[in-house]
Each structure stands twice: as C-alpha cells, then as structure tokens.
Structure 1
Amino acid sequence: MRFLPIRLLPDNTAFDFVRYRFAAYAFSLLLVVATLGSLAINGLNLGIDFKGGMLVEIQSAQPIDPGSLRSRLTEAGLGAAEVQQFGKPNEALIRLDSDQLGTTEAKQAAPRIRAALGEGYEFRRTELVGPRVSAELFRDGALATALAVLGIALYVWFRFEWQFGVAAMIATAHDVVVTLGLLSITGLEFNLTAIAALLTLAGYSINDTVVVFDRIRETMRKHKKLPMAELINLSVNQTLSRTILTSGTTLVAILPLMFFATSTLLNFTVALVWGILIGTFSSVFVAAALLLHLPTIRTTEAEAESPEKAVSQ
C-alpha cells in the first residue's frame, strides 16, 4: 500500500523569507544582547552539580513559610541556608553552599536538617556534591557543549561546503546561547540536566538546518540560472511543511512533560520547548539567509551557460 506524504501547507507556498532576513537578524541580535545582559547581571543559577554543597527538596502537608524555616535552620547552626518555595506552596528547596559545609559536617547536615525542621516534612531529594567535583563538572559540561557545536559545523562543512558549515555553526550557537539566556532570565537551575537539554537542542537544531541545506543544494543543481535569493526561498518553502510538522509533533510530546513534570525536569523541558521554537525560527529565517552574505557557493549564470567562455575570460 502506498502512503501519500502529509503536507501542512500547499505545494505552491511562496513566502519571501529572504525579504525579512534583516528583521530576523535584528530579532536574533536582540535575544543575544538580552542573554549577554542577563548573564552579566544575574549570571546563572548554578545547581549543586556546578556549585557544590547540599540540596534538599522537602514537602509538607501544610504551606511552607520559607522565612520560618530559614530561622530554624540558622538556630540549628547550619549557617545562612537558602530556602525557597519551589513548585507548590507546600514544597521548598533548601540549599547549603559548599563553604557552609565541611568535609565531616556534610555527612551530618541531613540529620541536622531533619532535626531542625521536626515532624511533618517529607524529604523527597537530597544531593551532596563537593566543590572540586562541581568545578570539574562545570568545565566538562561547557567543553562538551562547545565541542558539540564545533563538531556539527565540521560535519556540515564536509557534507556540503564550508559556507554551509559556517552558517550552521552560527545558527546552532545562536540557539544554544539564547536558550542559555532563557535559563539565566528565568532563574531556572543550571545543572547537568540543563547541559543535557543544550546538547539535545543542538542536535535538534542542526537536523532542521541540514534538511533545508540539502534541499538548497538539490535545487541548485536543478535551477542553475535561478538567483540565490529566489533559490533559498524556493528551498525553504518546499521544506516548510516538514519543518512545522516535525517541530509541532515534538512539542506535542514535550509540553505535557513541562506542565506535569517534577521539579527535577522543569529546567530540561522548558529549555527544550524554547529551544525547539527558537531553533525552528533560526533554521527558516537565519541559517539559509546567511548564505547570501558568504562567498558564492554556486557558479554564475554566465558560467552555467558557457563554461568554456567563462574559463577564457
């Protein structure tokens, strides 16, 4: 049995993406500037994975008063513990930095927290990471993300031409950086789960971009006299249904996870949802249009008509 391909948009779709490329560049630049500003002012809300210390997630049958808990922990000799509501009013996170925990005291911190809080609290999660391990995890996570973006660019370079590799690297780095900015602006915890989200996003973003680039290369072979701007528009429009359907079905799978997931996966799902949206935007409006500003990747019209004449000139 032969199945017909699903098309969300008609075959004769002819939206002029190239025409709006500078508006897309301006929007992307605005997002990058906002990201850099937030990173400079707010930084990242580093989790225990990267900062070191202890993280305890608690739940109570009654709404939790962070101020009251903070006072009780201070009186118990645990220092200036950070207590914040997380999720529901009866849920909270208790953070103790590595500076507040000695090597021997760290093992005793959890029982002391239980004793200070008393009955009526359920300890749902307890994490303890030393400062040396956390520094190594942060360095390795940042290195893994940078190498992933560079590896993607090299793959596209050898798969197509170097101009495609440069455009793909810019678009993928844009998606990763802007998603990092979202984590900084919202204050979501930046930990190993967030690194996993950034790496997943990089792979997802380049998947869409490679599909568009492959269609551009195919269209270049069929329409040798077509101007580059029209060729890009034609290729992006031909793959637009596939791009929207892929992004839409992925969002359908992730959105329920974002709304109903536990606090542990909130930063992962939020980063992925935002990354899919911004990655689709960059694949359609930014990545392909960047080829117009790079050295030519095709023969000119005169060379296509008469290669011998072009050589003689």
Structure 2
Amino acid sequence: MAWRLRLVPEKTNIDFFKIQWVTFGASVAAMLLSLVLIFTMGLNFGIDFRGGTTIRTESTNAVDVGAYRQALQGLDLGDVSITEVFDPSFAENQHVAMIRLSAKEGDESVTPETIAEVEAALQQIDPSISFPAVESVGPKVSQELITSALLAVLAGSAGILFYVWVRFEWQFAVGTVAALIHDVLVTVGIFVLFQIKFDLTIVAALLTILGYSVNDTVVIFDRLRENLAKYKQMPLRDMMNLTANETLSRTIMTATTTFLSLMALFIFGGDVIRGFVFAMLLGVVLGTYSTLYMAKNIVLMLGVDRGDKPKKSVKSDFADVDA
C-alpha cells in the first residue's frame, strides 16, 4: 500500500462543542473589541482613501524601486508607494513606474511644489526619466471610494446570505453570514490595532476572504444536510460533531495549502502586495476557526427543522478528500 501523508488522523472524534461558550464568547468579544478599535483609533487609510497624487514615470533605464525610494527619503512627504508597471505592449527599453504620494495631515492634496521636488530628486538618479502623467485624487473622490468599498462588502455578504438561504435553510444562512462578519470585522480590527495601511487592495482581500470562508462553511453544511437525512434520531449536537470530524481532513488540508502559498507570497512577494497577503493570511485562519466554532454554534442555538428532511440528498464532491 502506498504511503500517504496525513495532516490529521483518518478517524477523529473531537468534541467541538466541549467549550462552546468559551470559543463563541471569544469570537463575540473579538468582534466587539474590533468595533471599539475602529471607532476610537480609526483605520490608517492609504492613498486611495485619503487622497493624493499619482506620478507616472518612464525611462530607458531599468526601474530601481530601492533607488527611487532612497532618493525620496530626504523629502518631507506623506506615505509613498512605488510600483513598477509591466505591459507586453511596452518597448524593450521602455520602463514604467507609478509613484503614489498621499496628502499630508491637514492638506487636501499634494502641492505642485512637492511634485516638482519629487521629479527633481528622481532626475538626479536617472537623467533619462520623464513624467508623462500626473493625476491627483481629492478628498471627495476618496470619500466616494470608502462608500463604494463598504457597499461592495455589504453586497457580497447579502449575496452569500441569499445563496445559503436558498440552498439550505435560514438557520444555515444566519450562521454562515455571522461567521463571515466575524472574519471581516476581526481582520479589520487587527489592521486598526497595528495601524497597517488600509487601501483598495485590502478591500479586495476582504471580498476574497468572504468567498474562501463561505466555501469552507458550505462544504460542512452540505455534509450536515446528508447526515440529517441519514441519522434521523441522532441529537443535533452529536450530528454536528460527527459532520465536523468527517470533513476535518478536508478543512485542514485546504487551510494548510492555502496558508503555505500565501506565506510564500508574503515573504517573497514584495511590499506592494504584502498588505493584501497579510489580510488573506488572517482570513484563512479566522475563516477556518469561525467555520468550526462559530457557524455551527449559531445553527445549534437556532435549531433545525428535521421533520421533512428528504430521504436522499446531494452528495458533496469535496467532503471526502483525505488530508
């Protein structure tokens, strides 16, 4: 028989409800603490939400992000983001970068004098550099972006609520959305606590977290629906424990492989995507936790109508994957 690596034993009998009030209480406390941090400390908004200026540079020499950053360090600037742009349509000696400058505290925009200083500093290290485009984002546009980002997260959550409600029952939908709110809210709270820059890429990460978390939760709920038809006399709590143990190998395997991939990006991906990847790492950990210890708890509290379960249910394609 071929040897196979297992991340968890083939058969497990873990009682996920043994300390359910401790785990559920910790989740609620983390959500409340995150709300307090958001309203007291506030998010450290990036250029997208604070307003600022984007400078497009072109040069016949290769872009050296480190040299660009070093040249701008002596200037009195706010947050600076430097990104090299790649495009197949560029000529062989056409090297493009985007430099984003945030407005300093108390200023509505980056002044023309500051932009001139930036351009002069970059020309000192690369005389061939040119600045074909300079664009500014004002406070009004930034406020519109904040509103759009919030609406995007709410719309994503509402869509997931409707999908789970239609596919399963309303109790499952409530448990799923509560777990999603937990994942997003605690992730944002950690960003506030450590004052990590929050921009549109983090909003994209939050939307990705919603998709990842609901995928894991739906797999477990799909197996639970099968077991509801199979074990009609088993208490709901015992059935949920059985379901979580049956799908545990799949849950751990998915979380571990995703986490390892994200760690590689976090270490080697560079500063541009580090905030996005960090949010995703938090989402993987929190999503796995909330699936096992929050979504099921809420379904257990609300109860499930077991009087009209179908004799045969749709079999999940993923729940039997070994880890």
* Structure-1 residue corresponding to 2:50: 51
1:69 and 2:75 equivalent?
A: yes
Is the aligned partner of 1:253 residue 2:261?
Answer: yes
- 1:215 and 1:7 map into 2 onto residues whose CA distance is 21
Q: What is the match of residue 77 of structure 1? A: none
- 2:22 aligned with 1:23, yes or no? yes
1:224/1:132 CA distance change after superposition, 3 Å:
same
2:72 touches 2:121 (CA, 8 Å); kept in 1?
Answer: no
Of 30-39 and 228-237, deviating more is 30-39
Say yes or no: does 1:154 pair with 2:162: yes
For 2:248, which of 228, 231, 240 is the aligned residue? 240
- Equivalent position of 1:35 in the other structure: 34
CA distance in 2, matches of 1:240, 1:25: 19
Q: Secondary structure at the match of 1:128?
A: strand
Unpaired segments of 5 or more residues in structure 2?
57-64, 83-98, 312-323
Residues 46 and 102 of structure 2 are in contact (CA less than 8 Å); yes or no, is this contact kept in structure 1? Answer: no
- Which residue number corresponds to residue 102 of structure 2? 95
Alpha-carbon offset, residue 116 of structure 1: 6.3
Q: Which amino acid aligns with 1:250?
A: T
1:129, distance to aligned residue in structure 2 (A): 1.7
Post-superposition shift, 1:138? 1.2
What are the Cα deviations for residues 32-79 of structure 1, in whole angstroms up to 9, with x where unaligned? 13312221222111111112123689744897896x532xxxxxxxxx
Aligned residue for 1:187, secondary structure, equals coil
User: Alignment partner of 1:269: what SS?
Assistant: helix
How far residue 239 of structure 1 moved from its aligned partner, in angstroms, is 0.3
Which secondary structure does the structure 2 equivalent of 1:288 belong to?
A: helix
1:82 partner letter: G
CA distance in 2, matches of 1:240, 1:267: 29
Structure 1's 101 and 294: CA in aligned 2 closer, same or farther, altered over 3 A? closer
Q: Is the 8 A contact 2:51 2:102 kept in 1?
A: no
SS in 1 for 2:53: strand
Aligned to 2:299: 291
TM-score (norm. length: structure 2): 0.76
Shift of 1:112: 2.9
Q: Offset of 1:143 from its aligned partner?
A: 0.1
Deviation at 1:114, TM superposition (A): 3.1
Give the distance between the partners of 2:187 and 2:135, measured in 1 at CA. Answer: 25
User: Share of identical aligned residues, percent?
Assistant: 35
Q: Aligned residue for 2:220?
A: 212
Question: Are 2:113 and 1:82 aligned?
Answer: no
Report 1:177-216 matches (<5 A): 177-216=185-224
Higher mean displacement: 136-145 or 289-298: 289-298
**Deviations 1:97-135 (Å, cap 9, x if unpaired)?**
4963569x55x6422333368834899xx8732223222
Code of the residue aligned with 1:148 in structure 2: it is G
Q: How big is the shift at 1:16?
A: 0.2
Greater helix proportion = 1
Query: Within the alignment, does 1:110 sit opposite 2:115 as a pair?
Result: yes
RMSD of aligned alpha carbons:
3.5
- Report how many aligned residue pairs link the two structures: 280
Provide the C-alpha distance between the structure 1 equivalents of 2:222 and 2:174, rounded to a whole number of angstroms.
Answer: 15
The separation in 2 between residues aligned to 1:61 and 1:194, in whole angstroms, is: 25
Unpaired stretches in structure 1, ≥5 consecutive residues: 71-80, 87-91, 305-313
Classify 1:40/1:64 alpha carbon distance in 2 versus 1 (closer, same or farther; 3 Å). farther
* Equivalences for residues 155-170 of structure 1 within 5 A: 155-170=163-178
TM-score, reference length from structure 1: 0.78
How far off its partner does 1:219 sit?
Answer: 0.6
Q: Which amino acid aligns with 1:191?
A: D
Kindly provide the amino acid, as one letter, of the partner of residue 224 in structure 2: I
Give the direction of change, closer, same or farther, for the CA distance of 1:129–1:85 in structure 2 (3 Å limit): closer
Give me the whole-angstrom Cα distance separating, in 2, the residues matched to 1:234 and 1:290. Answer: 17
